[in-house]
Amino acid sequence: METIGKAALTVIAGGMDSSTPATKQQLPKPAIRLPQTVDEAKALKVWAEAQCDRPEPAAPLQITNHLKFLAATLPSKNLDDTTGKMRFAVYSSILGDFSNEALAYMARRACAELDWFPTPRQCLDILRDYREPATDRDKALMLCHRFWQGRFEDFIAALKADTATDDDVAAVPETWRKIAMEQGYLRWIADDQVYAIRRKVLSA
């Protein structure tokens, strides 16, 4: 007779791959900080968009360790070898898409709140409350947004101060020009198919 924790060890010993899943080749990681130039902003965004948009799933050995932790802390009914291995396989299948950090959160809460080894449903109920921390990808995209937001605000400020040039207008994205026109800083010249700056009229 064995508990689910012992069953987990048996499966691992039997040849389950416990290595960390291989990740795709990554681009060189730039500094995760507010870009100072357009080139830095573009490079940071390219790197961020090349990253996986979801946390890496826990490796089989990590799942095993969390189940062992639960089994060592919370009582469960004894199982024969075959049933124990089958149950472990079920838990591994259900929990296999979650990150190691999420499973650690689940295990800590289960030990603090439950009197018995959690059922799969109880595990999933706890995991629904988990929120992954911001990743470097999230931070990089946020910093890129801040950079371009700052550039947009500088563009609008230059139009407002009447210091922007036609080259400045031509260099910004079309969306910025449309917003500036809606705010009254630019006008559309249909004959020339260009935006022109509305210059301030100086009083005599």
Q: Give the dihedral sign, CA 168/174/178/183.
A: negative
Q: Are 99 and 56 within 8 A, CB to CB?
A: yes
**Residue 198 located in a structural domain:** no
**Residue 183 located in a structural domain:** no
Average pLDDT over residues 48-56: 87
Q: What pLDDT sits at residue 82?
A: 73
Mean pLDDT estimate for the chain: 85
**Residue 66 located in a structural domain:** yes
- Whose tokens are 């508990």? That residue is 3
pLDDT class of 117 with cuts at 50, 70, 90: very high
Q: Are 73 and 30 within 8 A, CB to CB?
A: no
Q: What pLDDT sits at residue 61?
A: 94
Q: What pLDDT sits at residue 78?
A: 73
Q: Is the pLDDT of residue 22 over 80?
A: no
CA-based radius of gyration for the chain: 28
State in Å, rounded, how far the first CA of the chain is from the last one.
Answer: 99
**Residue 18 located in a structural domain:** yes
Q: What pLDDT sits at residue 149?
A: 97
Q: Is the pLDDT of residue 69 over 90?
A: yes
Question: What span, in angstroms and rounded, lies between the C-alpha atoms of 105 and 99?
Answer: 10
Enclosing domain of residue 79: 4-127
**Residue 56 located in a structural domain:** yes
Q: Is the pLDDT of residue 4 over 70?
A: no
Strand, coil or helix: 57: strand
**Residue 204 located in a structural domain:** no
Which tokens go with 109?
């809460």
Q: What pLDDT sits at residue 5?
A: 46
Average pLDDT over residues 50-66: 90
**Residue 144 located in a structural domain:** no
Q: Is the pLDDT of residue 115 over 60?
A: yes
**Residue 189 located in a structural domain:** no
Question: What span, in angstroms and rounded, lies between the C-alpha atoms of 108 and 179?
Answer: 50
Percentage of residues in the chain with pLDDT exceeding 70?
A: 84
Residues 143-199: tens digit of each pLDDT: 999 999 999 999 999 999 999 999 999 999 999 999 999 999 999 999 989 999 998
The domain total for the chain is 1
Q: Is the pLDDT of residue 18 over 90?
A: no
Question: What span, in angstroms and rounded, lies between the C-alpha atoms of 88 and 159?
Answer: 65
Q: Which of 20-29, 54-63, 140-149, 186-195 has the highest mean pLDDT?
A: 140-149
Q: What is the pTM of this model?
A: 0.62
Q: What pLDDT sits at residue 160?
A: 95
